[in-house]
Amino acid sequence: MDLFLHARGRRAKWLLIPLLIVLLTSCYSVRIVNKDGVPEPDPLNQSGNFYKGLKVHTLDTTIKLKLAEGEFHLIERCASGGFFSFEYRVNLGGVLLSAVTLGKLRRVKIKYVCLKEQN
Amino acid sequence: MATTTKHEIGKWDTFHSNGPFDTKVLYKTSLAGKGNMPSWLDRYNDAVAEIQRLLKEALDHQEGFRAYGSAWSMNHIAHHNDNMHFNAEMNLKKAILDDEMHPDSAFQRENLFFVQCGNTIKELHKFLFDHGKALKASGASNGQTIAGCISTGVHGSAIDVGSVQDYVVGLNLIIGPDANDIVYLERASEPALNDVFADRIKARVIRDDDLFNAALVGLGAFGFIHGVLIEGEDRYLLKRYVRKIPKELALELAETMDFANSAFVIPSETDANGKGLRPFHYKIFINPYRNDPEYVVEAIYKKPYQPDYPDPVPRMKTAIYRDLIVLFTKIAEKYKNSIPKLIRLLQNSVLPPPDLDATGTLGEIFWDAGYQGPAYACAVGIDHKDSPRALAILTKLAREEGPIPGIYAMRFVKQSRATLAFTKFRVNCMLEIDGLIWKPKKNNMISLEKFCTRTIELLLQNNIPFTIHWGKNADWKFPGLVAHMYGVKAGEWMHQRRKLLSKEQAKLFSNGFLYEVNLAEAVV
């Protein structure tokens, strides 16, 4: 009996490890920054991070794809005509949603900063 | 039409979180759209009208007004309790036309650029590069606006060039709401632009060396700096080396600036006789808590521009020995939330190994330095010949009355002609300590304020003439501080201010900082 419980505990551990790996690695963000760009400023943004003093645009939505669709485009506009930075965030909920719906529902979390208009 | 939005913010803070400070209103002005107003000149003059409207409103309410751009100063020099104006969206820029040059000008037209106050150094790097030119120097960073740089004397470590204000040759100031309050100011001895240009921006011309030199590092007190005429030069590249060298050698160079006869030689940077070349930039990094036999130095040499060089930005992005705050936060990454552990780390570790060599433009070598968290910086200017002695005194202060979470650096800058430039010595050593803001009571440590006071007291006790960086942390209330640092020049600066501004205008452009350092005394 003890042996059986021990074996079950070990099996549970083995099941937990991949789950933990999925949990830890599935939440991340990627930020692309324009080397020569100057960001659009926002003096009211006092966030204590990369975005301090910058005008940040956020997209937080779920895209629904039709059966035959494999990709999608989001059209956004910067008055200056370009992006300074672009951050795409992936989290576990989004990954699970996409997996469960076979990629037809996709959670999109994006933060971007436009280029400062040049005059 | 230029438009201004009004925000009743209550509190205002600097980029490095050195506040917050009480503020009633923040204005933000955006230029008229290019589509609605295609002419550069119309947009510029339209912005003047908008600023004058705001100044009139402040005057009518007997309030003060202070413009700022990137808020990079680490004290309250850019702050006003009443009205603050964010001008970073005012970023027009233009090359100078043939018919705008003064007939007696010794400047080359191709090197002159007229830029609006809110242009950041990064924008100017790009604009000048697109015209085949480059800035002569920067503050070893690129986020500050041009008006903010010159108002506070921002400097890098360009030994033979100087600070940002030292390549400014003309200023367009708005000093009030009337037509006569738009001024174009330049040196009489070095005229650059003619009355045709002044007429175009509807300004009256003042050519006066003393007034120009006073207004150059004007602490925001000579009116609203609307436009700045800068002199660039042909594009060039910088080759950057970071080395660990014996500390005696690093300090001998600081004291003598004699690179030709020094044992510090970078093999690829010698003359035909094998003697060391004089670098464009020289900087020393010092951990005050360790008696390391070696210091890390950064030496940068100027090279002719050639287009096919590898992009240095990926290398500079990961470089450690850049901005002192960047270096410190890299070291502190692990212990940001535990100041005692961080201090122990500084006490027990040598500085990280030097970065790899890199070549790039000024804008690439001193690339973006983003927000690193609440930070402080204290910088004193001293004659380079006094620098080893001053370093010994101030590192002892950090060790014996501290510790505080920070490390020192020494940078070297040519003398400025600006009346209140803190780079007042022939060759200045800017001795600075930068780091993370700490809570003294929580950690049972000396406070930043007390540390700043002790810095002044020790330099006075040891008879080392000094100045303090206008945009950094200091005990600005220290009795007689400005009079001690600048002597008769402080009076000269106030005299020039009285020449330009009426009492009402002087009051409009005075803030708490100016009163604190006794430079607003002309105001009744």
What are the structure tokens assigned to B209, written together? 């060396």
Please tell me the distance in Å from A14's CA to the nearest CA on chain B: 31
Q: Which residue bears the tokens 């960073």?
A: B141
Report the residue from B15, B92, B123 with minimal CB separation from A53: B15
pLDDT of residue B15: 95
Q: Which amino acid would we find at residue B34?
A: K
**Residue listed under structure tokens 């490890």:** A17
Longest dimension (CA), chain B: 68
Q: How far apart are CA B195 and CA B173, in angstroms?
A: 16
> Looking at CA atoms only, how far is residue A87 from chain B in angstroms?
16
Three-state secondary-structure class, residue B279: coil
Nearest to B376 by CA among B7, B3, B18: B18
Q: Helices then strands (H, E): number in chain A?
A: 2, 4
How would you classify the pairing of strands B83-86 and B25-30? Answer: parallel
**Gap from A7 CA to chain B (nearest CA, Å):** 39
Residue type, B171: L
The domain B3-234+499-516 having CATH identifier 2.30.110.10: the answer here is no
Query: Helix axis angle, A2-25 relative to A92-100, nearest 10°?
Result: 100
What pLDDT was estimated at residue B264? Answer: 95
CA distance A23 to chain B (A): 23
B171 with B215: CB under 8 angstroms?
yes
Give dist(CA B274, CA B33) in Å, integer. 57
Q: What was the pLDDT predicted at B339?
A: 81
ipTM of this complex prediction, to 2 decimal places: 0.91
Q: Please, where are the H alpha helices in B333-404? A: 339-348, 362-365, 387-400
Contact call for residues B425 and B304 (beta carbons, < 8 A)? no
Instruction: Inform me whether the C-beta atom of residue B370 falls under 8 Å from chain A C-beta atoms.
Output: yes
Residue B345, pLDDT score: 85
Q: Is B373 part of the contact surface with chain A (CB cutoff 8 Å)?
A: yes
CB of B241 closer than 8 Å to CB of B357: yes
Q: Which of A35, A41, A46 sits opposite B13 (nearest CB)?
A: A46
Two tokens at B432?
A: 């600075």
Residue B473 phi, psi (nearest 5): -70, 135
Question: Which positions of chain B have pLDDT values less than 50?
Answer: 523-524
Could you give the CA distance from residue B63 to residue B82 in angstroms, rounded to a whole number?
6
**Which amino acid, residue A84?**
F
Q: At what angle do helices B324-332 and B339-348 cross, to 10 degrees?
A: 100
- State whether residue A31 sits within 8 Å of chain B by CB: no
Cα distance from B296 to chain A (closest Cα, Å)?
Answer: 28
Residues A48-103: tens digit of each pLDDT:
899 999 999 999 999 998 888 878 888 888 999 899 999 999 888 888 888 899 88
More confident residue, B60 or A27: B60
pLDDT digits (tens, 9 = 90+) for B14-62: 999 999 999 999 999 999 999 999 999 999 999 999 999 999 999 999 9
Q: Is the dihedral of CA B450, B456, B457, B458 positive or negative?
A: positive
Which chain A residues touch B7 with a CB distance below 8 Å? 44
Query: Directed axis angle between helix B387-400 and helix B448-461, to 10°?
Result: 140
Q: Which two tokens stand for residue A34?
A: 């324009």
| 3 state SS for B7-29 | ECCEEECCCCCCCCEEECEEEEE
Query: Residue A75: what pLDDT?
Result: 87
Per-residue pLDDT, B111: 98
Q: Residue B101: helix, strand or coil by DSSP?
A: strand
C-beta separation of B43 from B30 below 8 A? no
Q: Which residue in chain B is spatially nearest to A117 when comparing CA positions?
A: B89
Q: Which of A38, A43, A44 sits opposite B122 (nearest CB)?
A: A38
Q: Which of the residue ranges A20-29, A39-48, B9-18 would you say has the lowest mean pLDDT?
A: A20-29
Q: Is B460 on the interface with A (CB under 8 A)?
A: no
Domain residues of chain B, as ranges? 3-234+499-516, 236-475
Asked whether B118 and B147 are in contact (CB, 8 A), the reply is yes
* Residues B324, B283 contacting (CB under 8 angstroms): no
List the one residue out of B330, B336, B375 whose CA is nearest residue B74: B375
* pTM, rounded to two decimals: 0.92
A49 chain-B contacts, CB cut-off 8 A:
371
The SS3 assignment for B63 reads coil
Residue A9 pLDDT level (bands cut at 50, 70, 90): low
Q: Is B326 exposed, middle or buried (0-12, 13-18, 19+ CB in 10 A)?
A: middle
According to DSSP, the residues that pair with A85 across neighbouring strands are A33, A113
Distances in Å between the alpha carbon of A66 and those of A70, A101, B1? 8, 11, 46
| Cα–Cα dist B226/B44, whole Å | 9
- How far apart, in whole angstroms, are the C-alpha atoms of residue B523 and residue B419? 20
SS3 content of chain A, % helix, strand, coil (to 5): 30, 30, 40
What is the 3 state secondary structure string of A54-75?
Answer: ECEEEEEEEEECCCCCCCCCCC
Of residues A115, A102, A119, the one with CA closest to residue B35: A119
Asked if residue B326 lies in contact with residue B373, where contact means CB atoms within 8 angstroms, the answer is no
Structure token pair of residue A69: 């669709």
Percent of chain A with pLDDT over 90: 45
Neighbour tally for B348: CB within 10 Å: 9
- pLDDT value of position A4: 47
| Distinct helix (H) and strand (E) counts, chain B | 17, 22
- Look at the domain B236-475 and name its fold: Alpha-Beta Plaits (3.30.70)
Inter-chain contact A53–B70, Cβ cutoff 8 Å? Answer: yes
Phi-psi bin for B37: left (phi > 0), alpha (psi -120 to 50), beta? Answer: beta
Q: Which of A43, A50, A116 sits opposite B370 (nearest CB)?
A: A50
**Residue B297: strand pairing partners:** B243, B284
Candidates B327, B328, B303; CA nearest to B316 is B327
CB atoms within 10 A of CB A42: 18
Q: What is the mean pLDDT of chain A?
A: 85
Does the structure show a pLDDT above 70 at A21? no
User: What confidence tier does A1 reach under pLDDT thresholds 50, 70, 90?
Assistant: very low
Residue A112 CB partners (closer than 8 Å, separation 6+): A56, A57, A59, A76, A83, A84, A85, A86, A87
Cα B432 to Cα B285: distance, rounded to the nearest angstrom: 10
